[in-house]
Each structure stands twice: as C-alpha cells, then as structure tokens.
Amino acid sequence: MKESSKMVYYKEMDSPIGPLTIAATTNGVCWIEFGMIEDSLFLLKRWVKQWIGTDQIVEAKNELNTVIQQLIEYFSGQRTEFNIAIELYGTPFQKKVWETLLTIPYGEVRTYKDIAIQMNAPKAVRAIGGANHNNPIPIIVPCHRVIGSNGNLVGYGGGIEIKQYLLQLEGYLPKDK
C-alpha cells in the first residue's frame, strides 16, 4: 500500500564490509544498500517512489540509532538476532520469501530448494532466487544464508566476498587465516 504522506529517513554507517545506507519509515527499517549515500541516494529515491509512493526522504537525526547499534553489535559478534521493526515492500510472493528467510537461524544456511519446500512451492526455486536478489533489507533479512544446492555460495547483491564474510562472522564458514 502506497502512502504518499510517509516520511523516509536515511543514514549511512560504516561497517566491516564497507559503508551501508539504511532507510526506515516510522514503522520500521525498509531498505539497506551496500555503499555510500552518494552512490545510493538515487536508487533509494527511485525505490521509495516505486514502493512507498512518496518523495519525502530526509537524513535521519536519531531515527535510525537502534538499527545502527544492532548492526554494530552484529558485526562485532555480540548479536545473533535483530530486535527491530522492519517494513517489507515487494510483491506478495517476495514478501513470503523474505519472511521465510527470517526463519533461518544465525550460523545456519538453507538452499534455494529448502526455501521452496518450506514455502510449499517446490517448483519456485528460480523465483525464490529472484526474490532473494531483490531483498531490500539484506543482513537483517538474511538472504546471505541461502546457498546453492551444491553447497556453493551463489549470488549476493553485495558480492560473494561479503556473503562469505557474513557466513564466516556467523560461524558457518571457517574464518580466513
């Protein structure tokens, strides 16, 4: 549902995987992009216009402090679950995929086929991959925890190196020496 009066707040934070641009409405975090705000602002504005139906986007003052603190804790190994409101924007199928991803525990992975079976849509493996690719809240909605059926790390919006880093951080993969 598009709400033209909704305000969207954004902020950039540093992380071990590089800068992250985070956006939220008053209802919750709705968008995370890998990269600096200068590189992400055009994408954010376009995404917000398409999915939220507003052009009211402002830099956050304190609105994103909780999510930033929880991301800092996650990257330092002190947090295994996020306890923040999120607001998912996408097609009904995409939202169902992303909600399923939220059930994958920290430090574990699932294959695209596992997700398809869990969703009672065993033939939707490719569509699930597409939804994963369009996940607007990576890290918090843990699309990095989905791997190929052969166990390979495949496809990640931030790049395979970042996916590998996150899975090492969570203890699924051994850390590089």
Structural domain contains residue 50? yes
Is residue 66 domain-shared with residue 117, that is, in the same domain? no
Give me the residue label for tokens 């052969």.
150
Residue 30 designated active-site: no
Residue, of 120 and 6, whose pLDDT is higher = 120
Q: How much is the pLDDT for 4? A: 52
Q: What are the tens digits of pLDDT across the range 162-173? A: 999 999 999 997
The residue among 46, 76, 106 that closes a domain is 76
Q: How much is the pLDDT for 143? A: 95
Q: How much is the pLDDT for 94? A: 97
Is residue 63 domain-shared with residue 107, that is, in the same domain? no
Is residue 97 domain-shared with residue 72, that is, in the same domain? no
For residue 128, give the CATH number of its domain.
Answer: 1.10.10.10
Is residue 100 domain-shared with residue 70, that is, in the same domain? no
From the list 44, 137, 140, 143, the catalytic residue is 143
Is residue 107 domain-shared with residue 165, that is, in the same domain? yes
Number of domains in the chain: 2
Is residue 63 domain-shared with residue 97, that is, in the same domain? no
Structural domain contains residue 110? yes
Q: Residue 140 sits in which domain range?
A: 92-170
